[in-house]
Amino acid sequence: MPRRPLVRLFFALFIALAASACAIAAPVVLVLGDSISAGYGLPAEAGWTTLLQQRLAAEHYPHRVVNASISGDTTAGGRARLDALLVKHHPAVTVIELGGNDGLRGGSLDAMRANLDAMASAAQKSGSRVLIVGLRLPPNYGPAYVRRFETTYADVARDRKAALVPFLFEGFAEDNGMFQADRIHPVLAAQTRLLDNVWRELKPLLGEPGKSR
């Protein structure tokens, strides 16, 4: 093989390997969520987790977002999936946005709390900081159930000394125009609002821009 093409080949391989190494070395923000974070009903790559990656880059954070959210997932499903995700990605921060489907199905809040607690504990034991994202239920589920559902997030965050987003839909929950026809999933225009609500609590967990904790 002539020398010049060979040099070009080695140079291309070096660039590819360097890019791969940088991606692997970048600290990970793992998002473990349901359809809200999976971007249900939105154009591909238009959800708040994609906007999060863009904001991290714009503010010079080295972190890489891994969105492991699945539409329809519950806290039990997230708990079953988390260990493998922790081993694979070694996240610096784990964002847990689950529980909405537990509540909408009228599930056991004791089980929901146990699952959230187990996920937070597992992530912390792996060396990850944890951010728990809270949700609320509509009032037709009854005041006692609705109240206990909401406080479950705060209780787990307090017990695990984890960061907390009290309510993911804060500031627009009553605006029907911010939701799809099902009144559950936010529209495209609401994704920046979701990001802002998460960012306030996530940013302190990231360390200084250009560095990682």
Task: List, by residue number, the catalytic residues.
Answer: 35, 182, 185
Cβ neighbours of residue 77 under 8 Å, at least 6 residues apart? 70, 98
Report how far residue 57's alpha carbon sits from residue 64's, in angstroms, rounded to the nearest whole number: 9
Distance of CA 176 to the CA centre of its chain: 24
Beta strands, E only, 1-153: 28-33, 64-67, 93-97, 129-133
**48-81 as b/e: b if 16+ CB within 10 A:** bbbbbbebbeeeebbbbbbbbbbeebbbbbbbee
Residue written as token pair 């809040």 = 109
Joined together, the tokens standing for residue 11 give 């140079």
- Cα separation values, 171 from 50, 139, 190, Å: 21, 18, 10
Strand order in the sheet with 163-165: 64-67, 28-33, 93-97, 129-133, 163-165
